[in-house]
Structure 1
Amino acid sequence: MKIQVRFLLLGTIVICLAAHGFCIGSITNSRCKCVNVISNYIHPRKYQHVNIFNQGSYCRKVEIVITLKRGKKVCVNPESQWVQRIVSFLDKRAAETNEVITEESSTE
C-alpha cells in the first residue's frame, strides 16, 4: 500500500471518530449514563441525592439518577408517574428557593 493511501485512510478514521465525539472529552461525557432504568417506586426517605441530566450532545434522552443513602446509584425511568412527581416537586422547591434568595437580596 502506498504511503499516501495509508495517510488518507488514517485521516478518514480520525475525522470519523472526532465527528462521533470519541476524540473530544472523556469517555464518561460522551455517552449516556444509564444503560438500564427501573420504574419501581423508591421512597424519598431512601434518597441521598437526585441528579437530572437533560438531553444533550452526549445523550439524546433525559436521564434521572437517584443516589441512595447507602451509596448505590439507580437510574429511574423519567416517564414513570412517580418520577415526574418527584421532578415537579424539586422544580417547585428550586423556584421557591430562588424567589427567597431574590427577595433577600433585593431588600438589602
Structure 2
Amino acid sequence: MRFTLGSLLFMLLVCSLPPAHGVLEAYNTNLKCKCIQETSAFVLVNHIDKLQVFPPGNGCPNKEVIVWKKNKSVVCLNPHSKWTQKLIKILQRNAASTRPAPVLRRRMK
C-alpha cells in the first residue's frame, strides 16, 4: 500500500512540473532578431561603451553586432564589413590584455 501511494505522489509531482523547453523559452532566450536595420557607418573606438556579438541562433539566423555608445545610443553594425571585423579583433585583443582587479582581503582579529 505504501509503495503504491508513494509512486502515485511521485507521478503527480512529475506531471505537475513544467516542460523543460518552456522554461528555456521563457527565461533564457529571445526568439527574435535584435537588429532591424544594420549600418556600415564608421563608429569611433573612443565613443564605444560596450560591444556585443550575437551568433546566429534558433530565433535569428543572422550574426548581429550591437554597439552601445557612451552617449547612450545603440547602433547595429554590419558584421560582414571589413572595419567591423577589425573593430571586433581590436576590442577582443584589448579585453584579453586587461588584468582583473586585485582582490583585497582583510584579516579578522
Whole-angstrom CA distance in 2 between matches of 1:94 and 1:68: 17
| TM superposition outliers: structure 1 runs of 4+ over 3 Å | 93-97
Shift of the alpha carbon at 1:25?
Answer: 2.8
Q: Check if 1:68 corresponds to 2:69.
A: yes
Residue segments in structure 2 that go unaligned for 5+ positions in a row: 1-21, 101-109
Structure richer in helix, relative to its length = 1
Alpha-carbon distance in 1 for matches of 2:50, 2:31: 23
- Structure 1 residue 57: Cα displacement: 1.0
Opposite residue 83 of structure 1, the aligned amino acid is T
Q: Percent identity?
A: 30
Larger Rg: 2
Normalising by structure 1, what TM-score? 0.61
- SS of the equivalent of 1:66 reads strand
Aligned-residue Cα RMSD (Å) equals 2.6
In 2, Cα distance between the equivalents of 1:25 and 1:38?
A: 30
TM-score, L = length of structure 2: 0.60
Q: Letter of the aligned partner of 1:78 in structure 2? A: P
Correspondence list, 1:1-108, <5 A: 24-25=25-26, 29-96=30-97
Amino acid at match of 1:80: S
Gap regions ≥5 residues in structure 1? 1-20, 102-108
Task: Return the alpha-carbon distance in structure 2 between the equivalents of residues 60 and 38 of structure 1.
Answer: 18
Task: For 1:86, give the aligned amino acid.
Answer: L
Distance 1:90 1:74 in 2: 16
